[in-house]
Amino acid sequence: MPIKWRNCLSLLNKNTDESRLKHYAAAASVATALLLTLIKAAAAFVTGSLSVLSSMIDSMGDVFSSVVTFVAVHYAEKPLTCNHRYGYGKAEAVSALVQAAFISGSAFFILYEAVYRLIHPVILTHTAVGIGVMIIGMIFTALLVCFQRYIIKRVKSQAIEADSKHYVIDFISNGTVLLSLLIIRHFNWQWFDMAAATLVSGYLIFTAWHIARNALSEITDKEADNEIKAKIIQAVLATEGVKGYHDLRSRLSGNRLFLEIHLELDGNLSLFAAHEIAEKAEKAITDVCPQAQAIIHQDPHGLSEKRIDDDIIGPCTL
Residue 13 has pLDDT above 50, yes or no: no
Question: How far, CA to CA in Å, does 89 sit from each of 128, 225, 247?
Answer: 46, 18, 24
- Calpha distance 236→161 (Å, rounded): 31
* Residue 262 to residues 45, 123, 180, 282, 300, Cα–Cα distance (Å): 64, 69, 59, 12, 10
The beta strands (E) that lie in 128-279 are given as: 244-253, 256-265
- For residues 251 and 223, the answer to whether their CB atoms sit within 8 Å is yes
Q: What is the Cα–Cα distance from 120 to 113, expressed in whole angstroms?
A: 10
Least confident residue range of 10-19, 206-215, 285-294:
10-19
Nearby residues of 175 by Cβ (< 8 Å), 6 or more positions away: 138
In this predicted model, what pLDDT tens digit does every residue of 179-235 receive, in sequence order?
Answer: 878 887 787 777 777 777 777 778 778 878 888 898 898 888 888 888 889 999 999
CATH architecture of 226-311: 2-Layer Sandwich (3.30)
Residue in 237, 289, 212 with CA at minimum distance from that of residue 258: 289
Whole-model pTM: value is: 0.65
What length does the chain have?
Answer: 318
Q: What is the rounded distance in angstroms from the CA atom of residue 95 to the CA atom of residue 66?
A: 9
- Domain boundaries for CATH 1.20.1510.10 within the chain: 3-219
Between 117 and 13, the more confident residue is 117
Give the CATH fold of the 3-219 domain: Alpha-lytic protease prodomain-like (1.20.1510)
Query: Per-residue pLDDT tens for 154-182?
Result: 776 766 777 787 788 778 777 877 887 88
CATH 3.30.70.1350 residue window(s) in the chain = 226-311
Distance of alpha carbon 77 from alpha carbon 91, whole angstroms: 9
